[in-house]
Amino acid sequence: MSYIDSEDIAAGLQVLAVPQLIAAGEIAALPQLPSYIYLAGGSGDSGGLNALPWEKAAKGHLVGEYARLMGSLSPSRVISSAKSWLCSSSIDPRSACLPVAAEDPAEQLSPVIATQMILEHLRDAWNYCVAKGDKKMRLENQELIITVPASFEPMARDLTVAAATAAGLAFTLLEEPQAAFYAWLADHEDRWRKIIQPGDVVLVCDIGGGTSDFSLIIADDSDGELALQRLAVGEHTLLGGDNMDLTLAYAIAAKLQKEKGLRLTAHQINGLVHACRQAKEHFGGGAKEPFPLTVLGRGTGVVAGTISTTLSRDEWEAMLLDGFFPPCDISEGLAGAAQSGLRSMGLRYAADPAFTRHLANFLNLHSFHDAEGRPILPTLVLFNGGVAKSTAFREKLISALTSWRGAGAPEIQELAQQDSDMAVARGAAWLGHVRRSGGIRIKAGSARAFYIGVEAPMPAVPGFTPPPEALCVVNYGMEEGSEADIAAAGLALVVGEPTQFRFYASTTRQEDAVGERLSDWQDGELTELPPLQATLPNDDDGKKAGVMVPVRLRAVLTDIGTVQLWCDELKGKRSWKLEVDLRRQDEKAS
């Protein structure tokens, strides 16, 4: 959590050290609050030792570092990746379903409630450490910016809004890659115009523990002034440093079984994952000496039962560099994986583990293309996230970008990020300062075009369901805070019955205008989202269920980047908001 004191601008960007439990009964203020929740249940109080400074008694859940550590000891009681669950298509994010492997379903929480709990911890920490009883200084009364992945679709943004609102916060949403870029601008406030020139395309490559998030930002000359505009964002990709840690852990477990005949338990592998994370950071920083790995034994004699081995740099390179960063052509598609008919409920992780192929796919789909159809590639790259702290990993991605540009092309320049761990928070705070005091801002309209499905009128044909047309309701680049009337005749809602509309999004169709109808499209151009629904209740005029009420559509892209669709009665004053149908989403998951 970062902030700028509007009454002490000279102090610059500051980071709040967040009080949290780091062990039973032990509290420390750390610069980050890990987004883990431990459901302590009836044992959560530990005699009152686990109460935070602002609490009279400990709650039944713990947020932060101690919760993260408990993940290897009691995984069935720990919630992680709540943010990714908000945009999961396999569950209803408002239903109590986390942790997935909970032993007692009665203790499960929804992703929305989990997100709310994390925000409430940050709120209470600020009010305790900064406000100190001053109501004007409470977080609820500050100009607050909450960051979300650029890949978040409308439903995930709406659910984030719901969680933050329930926590009593007033806020603006900002995409995380943009926030990372704002942090770089803040660190180069007087020099960035000498580094970035008109025509430059900046790739923001944000690879964290669990996700990869890509964005393109272009620099343009606007009436003699350098302007920045966000061009494109990628899909929500569950691929990050956690995948690497698991890869190392399972490889070491296989090595121990082969060389020493030792078969590790799930509990031991969880401990090994933590050690492998340290090994990844060790070699990623350029170290060449082997890294020692220790796994606690299963017996009562801890020292005697300890299992030790080492990981060499050659092994590390073979497991991570070759597996996650292989050379590839920019036109190479993503590798898929066969889907099992019976799966455990969980997040849908990326089937292809290669960051290089995911980056190639993003650029191939979202860059402008030259006359020969090849994408116009970025000239600058800004890395962010834990994975990007590794020099070796950054070099692999830059090598891939260079190979795609071809011989003779100018060298790609890396924009150095001072603190990738805190960049997103610092950048969000900097934007808040810029909004008040003036300065360069990234122009960013809707990163997607949105469409609603409209049934085409045609005679019934046995055994054939006519495909819907897609009506564009929000065009790519539509500015936040604007609305559009959709010129589409013949639309109606049904009185007294739920009416559903199929809903689509596209990050690649950037020329479609509001009101344009698509009768067909290429595979992959449109992604179907959870459907929208509205219920038109019976009125007092005696209308019965099933009567069609003519309506016109109106789309609103809010100031915080969420999409609202309204049905306005043509011959009346009533309006109905179309909502995401989470029940249908839950049915698809089952």
Domain definitions of the chain by residue range: 2-142, 192-238+345-419+438-443, 241-324, 449-589
**pTM for the whole structure:** 0.86
Tokens of 462: 């046995």
For the record, the structure tokens of 587 come out as 């049915």
Query: What is the full per-residue pLDDT of the chain (590 aa) written as tens digits?
Result: 999 998 898 899 999 999 999 999 999 999 999 999 999 875 555 556 789 999 988 888 999 999 988 887 788 899 988 888 898 877 788 899 999 888 888 899 999 999 999 999 999 999 999 999 999 999 999 999 999 998 888 888 989 999 999 999 999 999 999 999 999 999 998 899 999 999 999 999 999 888 899 999 999 988 778 899 998 898 889 899 889 888 999 999 999 999 888 888 877 887 788 788 888 888 887 889 999 998 876 654 444 467 889 999 999 988 898 899 999 999 888 886 544 444 445 677 888 999 999 999 999 888 777 667 777 799 999 999 988 888 889 999 999 999 998 878 888 999 999 888 899 999 999 999 999 888 899 998 888 899 999 876 666 567 666 778 999 999 998 988 899 999 887 788 777 777 778 899 998 898 999 999 998 898 888 988 888 777 767 665 555 667 788 889 999 988 777 888 998 989 888 888 887 654 433 333 33
Sign of the dihedral through C-alpha 176, 178, 181, 185? negative
3-class SS letters over 322-334: HHHCCCCCCCCCC
312 alpha carbon, distance to own chain's centre: 33
- CA distance from start to end of the chain: 38
The first and second tokens of residue 164, run together, are: 């933050």
What share of the chain in percent tops pLDDT 90?
44
The answer to whether 44 touches 457, Cβ cutoff 8 Å, is no
* Predicted pLDDT of residue 292: 92
Q: What is the pLDDT of residue 42?
A: 59
> What's the rounded Cα separation, in Å, for the pair 439 and 459?
58
CATH match for 192-238+345-419+438-443 among 3.40.50.300, 3.30.420.40, 3.40.47.40, 3.30.200.20: 3.30.420.40
- Residue 158, amino acid: D
Q: Please answer whether residues 2 and 422 qualify as being in contact, where contact means their C-beta atoms are separated by less than 8 angstroms.
A: yes
Tell me phi and psi for residue 115, to 5 degrees: -65, -40
- Cα torsion 90, 96, 102, 104: sign: negative
Judged by DSSP in three states, 286 sits in: coil
Report the 10 Å Cβ neighbour count for 121: 24
Instruction: Give one DSSP letter per residue of 513-556, joined into a string.
Output: PTT-EES---TTT-EEEEEEEEEB---TT-PPTT-EEEEEEEEE
Contacts of 289 (CB under 8 A, 6+ apart): 313
Give dist(CA 85, CA 90) in Å, integer: 9
Rounded to 5°, the CA angle 86-87-90 comes to 100
What are residue 137's DSSP bridge partners? none
User: What are the φ and ψ backbone dihedral angles of 194, each rounded to 5 degrees?
Assistant: -85, -15
CATH of 241-324, one of 3.40.50.2000, 3.20.20.450, 3.90.640.10, 3.30.1950.10: 3.90.640.10
Neighbour-count burial of 146, counting CB atoms closer than 10 A to its CB (0-12 exposed, 13-18 middle, 19+ buried): middle
DSSP alpha helix (H) spans, 296-369: 313-316, 322-324, 355-366
Q: How far apart are alpha carbons 121 and 565 in whole angstroms?
A: 33
* Sequential DSSP letters for 143-156: -EEEEE-TT--HHH
Cα distance between residue 216 and residue 234, in whole Å: 9
8 A C-beta contact, residue 538 and residue 544? yes
Run of H or E residues at 295: strand 291-295
Rounded distance, CA 399 to CA 356, Å?
Answer: 10
Residues composing the chain: 590
pLDDT (0 to 100) of residue 538: 63
